[in-house]
Amino acid sequence: MDDVMLRNVQLIQLEIAKEVKRICEQNNISYFMDGGTLLGAVRHKGFIPWDDDLDFGFTRDNYEKFIATAKKNLSSEFFLQTWDSDREYGYAFAKIRKKGTIYQERIAQDSDANCGIFIDLFPYDNLPNDKNKRRKLITKLTFLKMLLKTKVNYKPWMENETINWKRWMIYLPVRFVSQFVSKDRIQKHYMKIVKVANTEKSELIYPQVAEKLGVWAMKKEYFSKYISLKFEDTFFFSAPVGYKEFLTDGYGDYMTPPPIEKRKNIHGIIKIDLGNK
C-alpha cells in the first residue's frame, strides 16, 4: 500500500471514528483511544504515519451499551460488525466498516465476512489477580478465539503469499476440533468465561483482541476518568487519564519511533477499494 492510498484509508477510518464519538457523546458512553491510535495521538498528534488501522477501547459495560445503541443509531453509511450481525465474522470484538468499500485482509480472504474499511472496538474485561486463575483464563479464551477464526475460514497462518508452517502446525489440532463444535457454542462458552471473570475483584483489565495477552493487561486506575487528546487537524478523542502509564506498559519508550525497517502496516491488506469516499 503506497503512502497516498494509506492516507486515503486513514481519512475514511477517521470518518468512522467521528461517528463512534458522536454516538458515545450523545448517549453518555465512555470510550478511549487504544493501542497504536492512542500512541499516535500522543506522539504524532494523529495517525502514526505508517499505521493502517484505528482502535477504540471500552470497559465491558460501556462496550455492551455502545453495541446496543449503535444498532439503533449508527448512520446508514456504516455497518456494525459483530459475531452476531455477521455470521462469517471471526473475532470476539466489534468492527465498524464503511459500506461500499473493500479492505481485504489476507488471513480472511477465504471468508464471506464483510470486508469494508474498518475501525476496531475492543471490550476490556477483568483479569484475575491470582496468577493461576489468570493463566487458565487466558489459555481457555485463546483456544476459543482460535476455534472461532478457524470455524469461519480465517487463515492466521498465512504470511504474505507463504504459509507460516510453525503457526500452521499450532492451528492443525484446532482445525480438527472445529469440525465438531458449532460457532454458537464457541461464542456462548467464550462469553460465559468472560462473565465469570468480570464478577471477580481485580486490579487489571485487558482487551479481547490478541491471542496472547502479552503486555496489554492494564491497571484499572488508568481508566478512573477520561480526558481529551488531539487527533488530526483540530479533532479530539477521549483517552484514559493514565494514558502515559498505559503507553509505557504497552510500548516502553513510546516517544521514540521504531527503526525504519519496522515502520510498516500489519494487517496484510491484499485488496482496497475506497468506494465513493
Q: What is the pLDDT along the chain (277 residues), one digit of tens a residue?
A: 788 999 999 999 999 999 999 999 999 999 999 989 999 999 999 999 998 899 999 999 999 999 999 999 999 999 999 999 999 999 999 999 999 999 998 888 889 999 999 999 999 999 888 888 888 888 899 899 999 999 999 988 887 678 888 888 989 999 999 999 999 999 999 999 988 888 888 899 999 875 555 558 899 999 999 999 999 976 799 999 999 999 999 889 989 988 887 777 777 888 999 987 6
Q: What is the pLDDT of residue 211?
A: 57
Nearest to 20 by CA among 43, 54, 44: 54
* Contact status, residue 33 vs residue 41, Cβ threshold 8 Å: yes
Q: What is the pLDDT of residue 215?
A: 56
For residue 46, the cross-strand partners are: none
Nearest to 207 by CA among 145, 136, 147, 132: 145
**Is the C-alpha dihedral spanning 66, 68, 71, 73 positive or negative?**
negative
